[in-house]
Amino acid sequence: MPLQIKRGPNSDRVSTIPLVGEPVFATDTKILYIGDGTTAGGVGIVPATHDHDASAITSGTFNTARLGTGTADSTKFLRGDGQWEPVSVGGGGGTKTYAVFTTLDNMPPAGQFATVNVTGNGTAVLEFDPANLEYAYFQSVMPEAADLTSGLKVRVHWCSLGVTTGNCVWGVQVERGNTSTQINSFSAATATVISTVNGTAAVPVTAEITITAIDGITAGDAYRLAIYRDASSGSDTMGGDARLIAVEVRSAS
């Protein structure tokens, strides 16, 4: 006759304390336990290692420490090499730069426009007068993964011709491309920054402007950017033209 050992549902097993060495089999979970005389239900017989096909795991939650190295939390994803990696914001983990414009991308207004010139080494620049308000316009489309929750940062790369002292006040406005192309409809909101000229003549510096009022621009929208020098500001103390070299539009997040 076959040998039979103490057996029954798991709920019965945990309510008794098996004798030392006494085997107990849970008929519903199919797990064998051995009594040690003190542990309710006995001690489970667990192999040193487990080899399971993934399809055999049908319930429960894995401890994140068993999935990969590093500390897991809601801001990270598991890489293919088993490393927990922070999720980058915006751009799907790519660059935060949304557009780069040079002088040749300028679409000047009908009046009050910055003039095009070329430096001694052939760099095309837009020259902004020290006594008059002048503009340069740039047009693009906001990338579909752009993060605009904190607005935009606009970086103006510029230099002077021969001046080495004083400040230049740069400003920016934006226009969402959802209105008539026959008229300008830039947002009334502006953002400016005071930028000090380089102490060495003709050497570029970078002015960074953060603008939070972006005319409702969302990812995927066409938009225009107006860059100007606020020569009427008392903070604009640099004599001579300011030469714009390039403009970068990027996430402010």
How do residues 33-58 score in pLDDT, each as one tens digit? 888 989 998 888 766 566 667 676 77
Instruction: Domain of residue 15: give its range.
Output: 6-82
For residue 87, being part of any structural domain is answered with: no
pLDDT per position as a tens digit, 4-17: 788 889 888 888 89
Q: Are residues 76 and 116 in the same domain?
A: no
Instruction: Please name the residue that has the structure tokens 């960074």.
Output: 208
Nearest-angstrom CA–CA distance, 23 and 116: 92
Of the residues 52, 82, 112, the one at which a domain ends: 82
Q: Are residues 30 and 126 in the same domain?
A: no
Please give the structure tokens belonging to residue 22.
């006494």
Count how many domains the chain has.
2
State phi, psi for 55 to the nearest 5 degrees: -70, -15
Q: How far is CA 219 from CA 94, 140, 186, 201, in A?
A: 15, 12, 18, 39
Question: Of all residues in the chain, what percent carry a pLDDT higher than 90?
Answer: 60
Q: Are residues 46 and 76 in the same domain?
A: yes
Q: Is the pLDDT of residue 121 over 60?
A: yes
Taking residues 73-96, what's their average pLDDT?
70
Instruction: Kindly report whether the global pTM for this prediction surpasses the value 0.75.
Output: no
Q: How far is CA 46 from CA 22, 43, 49, 211, in A?
A: 16, 9, 8, 62
CATH number at residue 160: 2.60.120.260
Q: Is the pLDDT of residue 155 over 60?
A: yes
| Residue 188 DSSP symbol | S
For residue 88, being part of any structural domain is answered with: no
Sign of the Cα pseudo-torsion (7, 10, 12, 14, in order):
positive
* pLDDT at residue 232 in the model: 92
Q: Assess contact for 29 and 47: CB atoms under 8 A.
A: no
Q: Are residues 229 and 190 in the same domain?
A: yes
Nearest-angstrom CA–CA distance, 36 and 99: 71
Q: Are residues 67 and 125 in the same domain?
A: no
Q: Are residues 78 and 101 in the same domain?
A: no
Q: How far is CA 221 from CA 95, 118, 141, 217, 218, in A?
A: 19, 33, 6, 6, 6
pLDDT per position as a tens digit, 189-235: 999 999 999 999 999 999 999 999 999 999 999 999 999 999 999 99
For residue 155, being part of any structural domain is answered with: yes
For residue 89, being part of any structural domain is answered with: no
Taking residues 173-187, what's their average pLDDT?
93
Q: Are residues 13 and 106 in the same domain?
A: no
SS3 127: strand
